[in-house]
Amino acid sequence: MKFLDQCKIYVRSGNGGGGAVSFRREKYIEYGGPDGGDGGRGGDVWIEAVDGLNTLIDFRYQQHFRADTGTHGMGRNRHGAAGADVVLRVPVGTQVLEEDKETLLIDMDTAGQKVLLAKGGNGGWGNDRFKGPINQAPYHANPGQDGEEKWIWLRLKLIADVGLAGLPNAGKSTFLAAASAAKPKIADYPFTTLAPNLGIVDLSSEERFVMADIPGLIEGASDGAGLGTRFLGHVERTAVLIHLVDCTQTDVVAAWQTVRHELEAYGEELGDKPEILALNKIDALDADTLEMQRNALAEASGVPVRLVSGVSGEGVKELLREAYALVRSRKAAAKVQPGPAVSWAP
C-alpha cells in the first residue's frame, strides 16, 4: 500500500427535496383540500477517525464526495425520504484544514471521533403546510434548501509514541526493524526511506509503544532541501525523540547539529521534546575510536550518549526501555495536569 499523508478533496452535502403542490381528488370526497407533502432533508457529509488505517491513499482515487439530494414531497401528504449521508473514514491523527491549507478546522486525534463537515439542506414545505382560513387552497410550496459545499485539505500526522530522527543512512530503518516487527526498506545508500514507517515495540505483555521512522533530514531541509521537513509532522505528536547518529562518520558533532538545527527551525515544539541521543552502528568501530566519538558528541551536546547497533542488537533493548519510561512519564504528567484555579467566595 502506498503512503499518502495529504490530499485536497471536495465535499458537498445534499440539497433538500422540494415540497409538493397537490390536492385531494378522490371520488365522493367533496372538500379535498391541499395534501402536498414536505421534501426530504439532504444528506450530510461526515468525517470519522477509525483504527486500522495509516494512509490517505483512498482519497487519491476519489476526490469528490457528494451526499444525496432529499426526495421531493408527493401528494396524499407523503413526505420525501432524506438523502443518504456520506461518511469519510480517515486514519486517527488526520487534520482537516481550510482550502488555504493553514486554517485548522478539526483534529481527528481520537478513534471513533465523528464530526459533521457539511450539513444537508432542509426539505421544502408542501402546500398542506400553508392552508388556513384565508387561503384554503394554496398553490404554493417551498423548494428545498441548497446543501453546503467546500474544498478542504486532509493532512495526516501519524500517532506514535517515539520518533526516530537522524541524517539519511543513520541506520534508523535498521533500528526500527531490530526493535519491532516492521519491515522497512533497508539499503546502503541515503534516502532509502521515502515515507514514514510505523512499528509496534513489544517489551513485554504490558509494555508496548508505537515508534515512527521518518525520512532523513539534511542540511537546509527547513528550506526545502532533500525531502524537506514535510514528514516531520508525523513526529509532532510523539512523546520522545530518539536521535540516531552514525558513529562511522568523520564529524559526528556536525551530524548531530545539522539535525538539531532542522528540528528547531521546523517549530511546533519539536526542538523542546525529550531526546535520547545515541551513536548507531557501533559494531563497525573499534573500542578506542568509538570512545573518542562518544566523548566528542557528549561534550558538544551536554547529554549522555547511548551506544547501539541495529545490526547486532547491542544496546537496543536498554534504549527502548529508557524511551518507554519517558513515554510513560509524559503520559502520566498529561493526565494529572491541574486545571485553572477557581476562587470561591461565599
Instruction: Note the pLDDT tens digit of each residue in 50-98.
Output: 988 888 988 988 999 999 999 999 999 999 999 999 999 999 999 999 9
C-alpha torsion sign, points 201, 203, 204, 210: negative
Of 143-147, 164-168, 187-191, 323-327, the poorest mean pLDDT is in 187-191
- What is the structure's pLDDT at 70? 97
Give the whole-angstrom CA distance, residue 344 versus residue 338. 17
Residue-wise DSSP of 63-131: -EEEPPPPPPPBTTTBPPPPPPPEEEEEETTEEEE-TTS-SEEEEE-STT-EEEEEPPPPPPPPGGGG-
Domains identified in the chain and CATH numbers: 1-156 (2.70.210.12), 162-334 (3.40.50.300)
Residue 159: count other Cβ atoms within 10 Å of its Cβ. 20
Q: Is the pLDDT of residue 344 over 60?
A: no
Q: Is the CB of residue 105 less than 8 Å from the CB of residue 98?
A: yes
Q: Residue 184 carries which side chain, given as an amino acid letter?
A: P
Surface-to-core class of residue 100, CB atoms within 10 Å of its CB (0-12 exposed, 13-18 middle, 19+ buried): exposed
Give the whole-angstrom CA distance, residue 56 versus residue 38. 39
- Would strands 149-156 and 94-97 be described as parallel, antiparallel, or unpaired? antiparallel
pTM of the model: 0.79
Task: Give the H or E element holding residue 164.
Answer: strand 162-165
Structure confidence by residue, pLDDT tens digits, 239-276:
899 999 999 888 999 989 988 888 888 876 777 888 99
Give the whole-angstrom CA distance, residue 195 versus residue 187. 15
Give the residue carrying C-alpha cell 474544498. Answer: 151
